[in-house]
């Protein structure tokens, strides 16, 4: 009996002082909750919708059609010789994933107020599952990309193997900003109104409808300060191959984007961890 | 030390009332208030501090079942929240040995669109169960909840009883080392309540620790060995349950047969209803805390409505100090009166109920009050608003100086015939 008792986990209650530790161990213990919340999110998202999972495909495809007409045909945005539809779709794919993930991870925490004020679990579980559930949508929309590559006879290069890395970069960026915004949202509900607006502006600040080559080389590093530039151009580079990047040199963009992402992610985690102890009291 | 499940030392929890009432919900509010009173903030803050818990210390042994009682706002829920790590104490330390499982309010963490089966897994994970554990317990949970036929139906189509049964079943099978139960038995039919109580004593028999918060004194007495009485954030008594319940029910304001409500005793959720006073009047109409069983008595409740309320009903719950209900009555029980008062306009009211002579047995009784619109909203509730004594002098059967069993002592019509 005493052996069993010694094995019981001991929890210490104490007021938090100073900076909270990252405590990733705690998060690992609750990995199954992350799985279930992600799974719930997926189950619920398309219930009682007429088109169900088709929405996942329709959203980027309609965007692509509109962009192709507006920017590809009417405004003739330079694409370095790449057909505009696939040029924009290769960017819309990660963008749609990012926008959805950011919006979910910033707002679902407040949506779970009921849970937060009643049960203990590491609060980071919620924004994390918010960025994970977008992967399924991404995978489905990816099929369209494959079809388009066949249609435009684009031969994949070895670069394609690095695509998952850029997807992870998109996820970490969404998580980093999502942690900041969701923690702030607990205190200031303004964030709920702000997020769609941020995403709207961000879309134009990211080379989705245009390419980085459009920006003069002198200022191109500024574009890299937006981590999504690295993601989007990374996708194009992985899918369309070297031919696409002939017109500009993408490596510095990637490095700046990755660095920024990690700064945001680490600071976001610290901020979240340090404010989460008051969530139950003020949410 | 090893057989201590919960050890807390000088736990206090502070809430800033301003943060609740004048919460800066938007950035704009914060900026506006910062400009309006840039220097005043510090000074005002002192007044807005509410200590929900003050210097609480206790140890709870492994395998014991401990009740926690206290009035609304005494700090019971805050204490449970601190113990289950939902919120952190402002000061003090504690040590919890073993996994804490809380029985949540009905359906917290349930998603209406998901089926019963899916919700069992989701809810189990929220409560900290591993997937394999849930799979192992799944059949048992379903059977206990009695919703087998509907297990693949979305829970939004469940009745509230089914919802509750499923929620309880998941939590009860969580097998935590420490089970925290907060007033869950207030709902559900009698049969299921019995089942839940049974399950809880099973949990205790397996050597697990149970903390049970309830306003239901008979459940406290039946289930717990020991009870903590909380008042204004402090543990004012810890004793074997019968003693503690007796103390709790008869303590305080009952001396005068009258009770007033102060501003801080009225939850914000009561608006537009405001309780003012509750009085016990004897046969002569005097406010007294002791009435004679052979005289009429009345209970009156004075309150104010700041806005009209439709369907309002004022109820009195009469209980013995053992926690058994004697009866429940509402001011609009009479159908004609209920029809007439569909909308009670704003104003000040008294609802007075006359209780005929020869109703109560000797002893001490508790009046609980409730102001609600049936199935719409509960404005105010106080389960132990006031207590009074009944003196049996002159009651039937007083020629035998023995104690009569039962809470009532009616004067009945006996006939004795020779046949």
How does pLDDT run across A70-88, given as a tens digit for each residue? 888 888 888 877 888 888 8
For residue range B375-403, list pLDDT tens digits in order.
Answer: 888 899 888 888 888 877 778 888 887 77
Q: Which residues pair with B53 in a beta bridge?
A: B13
CATH number of the domain where residue B345 is located: 2.70.50.60
| Domain shared by B76 and B11, yes or no | yes
Nearest to A107 by CA among A58, A41, A201, A55: A41
| Domain shared by B212 and B279, yes or no | no
Is B114 within 8 Å of A44 when comparing Cβ atoms?
yes
Q: Which distant-in-sequence residues (6+ apart) come within 8 Å of B20 by Cβ?
A: none
Q: Which distant-in-sequence residues (6+ apart) come within 8 Å of A127 by Cβ?
A: A105, A106, A108, A109, A175, A178, A179, A182, A272
Given B250, B268, B303, which residue is the final one in a domain? B250
| Domain shared by B237 and B281, yes or no | no
CATH number of the domain where residue B13 is located: 3.40.50.300
| Domain shared by B232 and B357, yes or no | no
Which pLDDT score, from 0 to 100, does residue A50 have?
A: 73
Q: Which residues of chain A have pLDDT under 50?
A: 1-5
Given B205, B228, B250, which residue is the final one in a domain? B250
Which CA distances in Å does B173 have to A45, B108, B146, B345, B365? 29, 16, 14, 48, 37
| Domain shared by B207 and B304, yes or no | no
Tell me whether residue B404 is in a domain: no
The domain total for chain B is: 2
First to last CA, chain A: 42
Q: Identify residues of A whose CB sits under 8 angstroms from chain B CBs.
A: 2, 5-6, 8-16, 30, 32-33, 35-37, 40, 43-44, 47-48, 114-121, 187-190, 277, 280-282
Average pLDDT, consecutive stretches of 10 residues, N- to C-terminus, chain B (419 residues):
84 73 56 56 57 92 89 82 88 89 70 89 86 90 88 86 81 81 61 73 81 76 87 90 80 62 78 90 82 90 92 92 87 90 90 93 88 88 86 81 84 92
Given B250, B268, B296, which residue is the final one in a domain? B250
How far is B348 from B236, CA to CA, in rounded Å? 36
Tell me whether residue B103 is in a domain: yes
Which pLDDT score, from 0 to 100, does residue B22 have?
A: 45
How far is B244 from A23, CA to CA, in rounded Å? 41
Tell me whether residue B412 is in a domain: no
Residue from the list A15, A120, A187 with its beta carbon closest to the beta carbon of B91: A15
| Domain shared by B151 and B285, yes or no | no
Note whether ipTM > 0.90 here: no
Which pLDDT score, from 0 to 100, does residue B42 have?
A: 47
Tell me whether residue B211 is in a domain: yes
Tell me whether residue B305 is in a domain: yes
Range of the domain at B348: 254-391
Tell me whether residue B416 is in a domain: no
Mutate to test the interface with B, among A4, A129, A191, A281 (most CBs of B within 10 A): A281
| Domain shared by B93 and B241, yes or no | yes
Residue from the list B95, B108, B113 with its beta carbon closest to the beta carbon of A115: B108
């Amino acid at each position: 009996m005493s052996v069993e008792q010694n094995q019981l986990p001991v929890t210490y209650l104490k007021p938090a002082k100073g900076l909270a530790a990252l405590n990733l161990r705690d998060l690992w213990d609750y990995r199954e909750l992350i799985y279930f919340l992600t799974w719930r999110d997926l189950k619920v998202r398309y219930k009682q919708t007429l088109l169900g999972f088709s929405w996942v495909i329709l959203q980027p495809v309609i965007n692509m059609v509109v962009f192709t007409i507006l920017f590809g045909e009417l405004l003739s945005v330079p694409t370095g010789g790449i057909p505009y539809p696939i040029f924009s779709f290769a960017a819309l794919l990660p963008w749609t994933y990012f926008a959805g993930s950011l919006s979910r991870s910033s707002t679902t925490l407040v949506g779970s107020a009921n849970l937060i004020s009643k049960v203990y679990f590491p609060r980071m579980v919620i924004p994390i599952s918010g960025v994970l559930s977008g992967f399924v949508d991404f995978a489905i929309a990816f099929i369209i990309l494959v079809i388009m590559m066949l249609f435009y006879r684009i031969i994949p290069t070895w670069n394609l193997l690095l695509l998952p890395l850029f997807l992870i970069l998109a996820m970490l960026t969404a998580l980093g900003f999502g942690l900041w915004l969701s923690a702030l949202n607990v205190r200031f509900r303004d964030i709920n109104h702000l997020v769609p607006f941020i995403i709207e502006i961000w879309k134009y600040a990211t080379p989705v409808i245009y390419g980085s080559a459009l920006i003069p080389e002198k200022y191109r590093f500024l574009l890299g300060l937006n981590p999504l530039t690295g993601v989007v151009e990374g996708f194009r580079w992985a899918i369309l191959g070297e031919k696409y990047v002939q017109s500009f040199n993408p490596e510095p963009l990637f490095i700046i984007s990755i660095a920024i992402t990690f700064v945001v992610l680490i600071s976001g985690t610290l901020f979240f961890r340090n404010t989460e102890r008051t969530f139950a009291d003020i949410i | 030390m090893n057989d201590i499940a919960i050890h807390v030392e000088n736990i206090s929890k502070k809430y800033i009332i301003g943060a609740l009432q004048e919460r800066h919900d938007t950035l704009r509010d914060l900026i506006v208030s910062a400009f309006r009173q840039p220097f005043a903030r510090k000074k005002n803050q002192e007044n807005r501090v509410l200590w929900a818990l003050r210097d609480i210390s206790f140890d709870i042994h492994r395998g014991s079942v401990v009740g926690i009682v206290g009035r609304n706002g005494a700090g019971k829920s805050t204490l449970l929240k601190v113990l289950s790590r939902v919120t952190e104490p402002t000061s003090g330390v504690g040590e919890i040995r073993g996994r804490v499982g809380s029985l949540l309010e009905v359906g917290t963490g349930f998603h209406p669109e998901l089926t019963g089966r899916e919700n069992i897994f989701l809810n189990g994970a929220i409560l900290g169960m591993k997937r394999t554990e849930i799979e192992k317990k799944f059949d048992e949970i379903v059977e206990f909840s009695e919703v087998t036929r509907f297990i693949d139906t979305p829970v939004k189509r469940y009745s509230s009883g089914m919802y509750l049964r499923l929620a309880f079943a998941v939590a009860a099978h969580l097998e935590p080392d420490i089970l925290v139960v907060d007033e869950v038995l207030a709902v559900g039919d009698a049969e299921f309540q019995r089942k839940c109580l049974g399950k809880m004593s099973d949990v205790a028999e397996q050597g697990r620790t149970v903390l049970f918060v309830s306003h239901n004194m008979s459940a406290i007495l039946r289930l717990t060995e020991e009870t903590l009485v909380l008042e204004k954030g402090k543990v004012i008594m810890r004793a074997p349950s019968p003693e503690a319940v007796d103390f709790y029910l008869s303590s305080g304001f009952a001396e005068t047969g009258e009770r007033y409500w102060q501003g801080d005793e009225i939850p914000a959720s009561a608006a537009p209803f405001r309780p003012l006073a509750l009085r016990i009047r004897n046969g002569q109409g005097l406010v007294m805390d002791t009435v004679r069983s052979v005289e009429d008595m009345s209970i009156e409740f004075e309150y104010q409505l700041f806005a009209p309320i439709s369907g309002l009903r004022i109820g009195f719950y009469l209980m013995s100090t053992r926690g058994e209900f004697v009866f429940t009555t509402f001011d609009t029980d009479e159908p004609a009166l209920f029809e007439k008062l569909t909308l009670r306009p704003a104003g000040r009211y008294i609802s007075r109920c006359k209780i005929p002579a020869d109703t109560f047995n000797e002893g001490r009784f508790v009046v609980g009050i409730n102001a609600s619109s049936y199935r719409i909203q509960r404005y105010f509730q106080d389960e132990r608003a006031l207590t009074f004594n009944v003196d049996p002098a002159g009651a039937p059967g007083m020629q035998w100086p023995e104690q009569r069993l039962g809470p009532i002592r009616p004067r009945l019509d006996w006939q004795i015939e020779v046949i």
